[in-house]
Amino acid sequence: MSSLNFIGGEKGGVGKSVVARVLAQYFIDHDQAFMGFDTDRSHTSFTRFYADYAAPVLVDSYEGLDRVVGIFESAPESGDIPRVIVDMAAQTAAPLARWIQDSDLLSLLQDMGVRVNFWHVADAGKDSVELLGRLIETYGSSANYIIVKNHGRGSDFSQLDASSAMTKAVSLGAKVIDLAQLHEASMRKIDRQNASFWAAIHQRSEPDALGMLERQRVKNWLKKSYEALDTLSL
């Protein structure tokens, strides 16, 4: 099935781009065709690490966002079943919602057989709980929800688990997964290299190349991440 994956969470610093990068690497390692779009004008994290697969797009431009959905229209000609990843910058929920509602996008994509997934990347703070509630209020039962507890941004998710937002999301069929924490020093090295996770594991001559045990830790972290993604039938 084709899928459109909005990797959001609305607030900055919750790890949206890391989730987008993990999902991209997951698709690559599973030989699944995909296209990525990066809405972050300041950091462009997604396009930095996966330049061969991702392109920048302006989220406050209907013409820019239309490019995202245009992938699905051209799919029958190419023969590929597209999967699209959109790395959402902070505070982009409002323009995205306007575009979706004005275009009646969810109904259109449902008719086309495209599954729309809203990924809510959460830290352990109160803001993530409130923002999940707003996401559910905006789209209700018309979309699919994937909630990612990012343990790289917190360890106690009891407030999220006990919230009415989580209860509502689960009642609508939301899937909840955990993203384990990767050792901070290793992640910093990967970021300084502007490397994909695959490249970071295999490069050994770069100034910030990972050591043997660091490479093993990244492999183990990816393995755990893939096991979580496997539960989503992506």
Mean pLDDT computed over every residue of the chain: 92
Q: What would the pLDDT profile of 167-220 be if each residue is shown by its tens digit?
A: 999 999 999 999 999 999 999 999 998 889 999 999 888 788 999 999 999 999
Task: Report yes or no on 29 lying in a domain.
Answer: yes
Task: Report yes or no on 199 lying in a domain.
Answer: no
Q: What is the pLDDT of residue 78?
A: 57
Task: Report yes or no on 193 lying in a domain.
Answer: no
- CA dihedral in degrees (211, 212, 213, 215; nearest 10)? 80
Whether the Cβ atoms of residue 84 and residue 36 lie closer than 8 Å to each other: yes
Looking at the structure of the chain, the number of domains it has is 1
Q: Which amino acid is it at 47?
A: T
Task: Report yes or no on 206 lying in a domain.
Answer: no
Task: Report yes or no on 190 lying in a domain.
Answer: no
Q: What would the pLDDT profile of 119-167 be if each residue is shown by its tens digit?
A: 999 999 999 999 999 999 999 999 999 999 999 999 999 999 999 999 9
**Nearest in space to 166 (alpha carbons), one of 132, 125, 121:** 132
Whether the Cβ atoms of residue 4 and residue 115 lie closer than 8 Å to each other: yes
**Nearest in space to 179 (alpha carbons), one of 3, 8, 15:** 15
User: Residue 169: which domain range?
Assistant: 2-182
**8-state DSSP, 80:** -
How far is Cα 94 from Cα 97, in angstroms, rounded to an integer? Answer: 5
Tokens (6 digits) for 78: 């190419």
Task: Report yes or no on 157 lying in a domain.
Answer: yes
CATH, residue 150: 3.40.50.300
Q: Does residue 71 surpass a pLDDT of 90?
A: no
Q: What is the pLDDT of residue 41?
A: 76
Q: Kindly give the residue spans of alpha helices, DSSP state H, lying in the chain.
A: 16-29, 45-49, 62-78, 93-102, 105-112, 126-139, 158-161, 164-171, 184-193, 197-202, 212-230
Task: Report yes or no on 81 lying in a domain.
Answer: yes
Q: What is the pLDDT of residue 74?
A: 76
Q: What would the pLDDT profile of 72-98 be if each residue is shown by its tens digit?
A: 887 655 556 689 999 999 889 999 999
Q: Could you tell me the pTM of the whole model? A: 0.94
Task: Report yes or no on 201 lying in a domain.
Answer: no
115 three-state secondary structure:
strand
